[in-house]
């Protein structure tokens, strides 16, 4: 069947009276709640056919891998806990494989954010098959958005309350997944961006190796900065793994579906920037003793603070980073934060700067910066 014929049939089906309904015309499955699930979506071409018709190929530069298996896509949506009437944001829908499964759950509103314009015709066909305003397409790079005002204000919940009826889901390109989750953990810590709406759960895909680092426990060789940043802010779990051969084209790695549920109280009660910097330096030399790692936090003439850090926190200086619990890391973080409060400019110290300053030069430089401000 030609491309034009399929598109024409799709539009014809969308306009057929059997599919043009308002939500109030659909019998609710739960008393008092209107069902937003269409009796069936129009018989649109399959995702595999659309990819072939539009000659869309995965771009290596965007780390694209299509997941065309309906059962796996349905399992991802089930893991996200999407229900009738929820508000959903999908990141990187591509040809709409997961999107279709989300729509079959009957969301009140579905936003999809796609960077690659080649997928717009496919996504627009799905949008045309939904109730008016049920699905909206945003074209752009996810790293450019914080989604502060995306969801209706009446959905907002206090942080200590249950999660709002909002779900975020995405089959992420490998090249953006780790920077994105660090960015979103920052929003989570600050209760900003879409996290001003409450404790919104995330269901995202990662390379299995990255996902295993996120959940790595104490003494695990994969424990890292990412482990600590995720676990101190979230309940993070791998829901299931997907074989690489399930994707088109098939990557050389398996993929894990990871769910993040924000904690009511973080395990380390300090600003995100402080925790992130401390943990980054803690794991800078993964196989060395922690006193050598944390020495990079201080100028040369202030290395006595490095020894004082272990005394005040009651942590042994010759441990390895992977041997520390989050509580132990938190204890050292608090001491480091005290040092930064007592020594203005210490937090801004960069051990990789070309010139190493003495303590007097360092304080003079800080005074100059303050005067300039």
Residues 6+ apart with CB under 8 A from 141: 115
What CA–CA distance (Å, rounded) separates 88 from 111? 6
pTM: 0.81
Q: Does 20 have pLDDT greater than 70?
A: no
* Neighbour-count burial of 125, counting CB atoms closer than 10 A to its CB (0-12 exposed, 13-18 middle, 19+ buried): buried
| Percent helix, strand and coil across the chain, each to the nearest 5 | 45, 15, 40
Answer whether CATH 1.10.8.100 is correct for domain 272-370.
yes
Q: Does 254 have pLDDT greater than 60?
A: yes
pLDDT at 36: 64
> Which has the minimum average pLDDT: 23-37, 77-91, 278-292, 358-372?
23-37
pLDDT band at 365 (very low <50, low <70, confident <90, very high): low
Which helix (H) or strand (E) element contains residue 276?
A: helix 272-282
Domain ranges of the chain: 47-262, 272-370
pLDDT at 359: 59
Q: What is the pLDDT of residues 47-104, one digit of tens each?
A: 556 555 545 554 544 445 778 788 999 999 999 999 999 999 999 998 888 999 999 9
Answer whether CATH 3.40.50.150 is correct for domain 47-262.
yes
pLDDT at 362: 60
Q: Does 39 have pLDDT greater than 60?
A: no
Tell me what the mean pLDDT of segment 302-316 comes to: 96
Mean pLDDT of the chain: 84
């Amino acid at each position: 069947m030609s491309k034009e014929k399929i598109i024409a049939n799709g539009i014809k089906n969308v306009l057929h009276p059997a599919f043009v309904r308002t939500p109030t015309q659909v019998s609710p499955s739960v008393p008092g709640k209107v069902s937003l699930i269409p009796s069936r979506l129009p018989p649109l071409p399959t995702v595999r056919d659309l990819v072939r018709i539009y000659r869309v190929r995965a771009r290596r530069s965007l780390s694209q891998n299509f997941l065309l298996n309906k059962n796996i896509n349905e399992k991802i949506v089930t893991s996200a806990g999407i229900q009738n009437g929820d508000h959903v944001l999908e990141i990187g829908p591509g040809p709409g494989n997961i999107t279709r499964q989300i729509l079959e759950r009957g969301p009140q509103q579905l936003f999809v954010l796609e960077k690659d314009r080649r997928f717009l015709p496919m996504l627009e066909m799905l949008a045309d098959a939904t109730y008016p305003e049920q699905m909206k397409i945003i074209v752009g790079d996810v790293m450019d958005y914080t989604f502060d005002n995306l969801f209706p204000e009446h959905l907002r919940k206090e942080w200590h309350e249950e999660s709002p009826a909002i779900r975020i889901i995405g089959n992420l390109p490998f090249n953006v997944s780790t920077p994105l989750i660090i960015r979103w953990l920052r929003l989570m810590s600050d209760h900003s961006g879409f996290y001003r709406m409450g404790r919104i759960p995330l269901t995202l895909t990662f390379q299995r190796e990255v996902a295993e680092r996120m959940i790595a426990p104490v003494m695990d060789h994969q424990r890292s900065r990412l482990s600590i940043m995720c676990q101190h802010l979230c309940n993070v779990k791998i829901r299931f793994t997907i074989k690489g051969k399930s994707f088109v084209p098939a990557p050389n790695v398996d993929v894990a579906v990871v769910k993040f549920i924000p904690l009511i109280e973080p395990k380390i009660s300090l600003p995100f920037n402080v925790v992130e910097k401390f943990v980054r330096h803690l794991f800078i030399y993964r196989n060395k003793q922690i006193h050598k790692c944390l020495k990079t936090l201080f100028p040369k003439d202030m290395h006595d603070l490095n020894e004082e850090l272990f005394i005040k926190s009651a942590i042994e200086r010759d441990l390895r980073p992977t041997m520390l619990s989050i509580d132990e890391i938190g204890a050292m973080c608090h001491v480091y934060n005290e040092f930064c409060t007592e020594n203005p400019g210490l937090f801004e110290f960069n051990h990789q700067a070309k010139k190493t300053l003495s303590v007097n030069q360092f304080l003079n430089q800080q005074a100059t910066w303050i005067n300039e401000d």
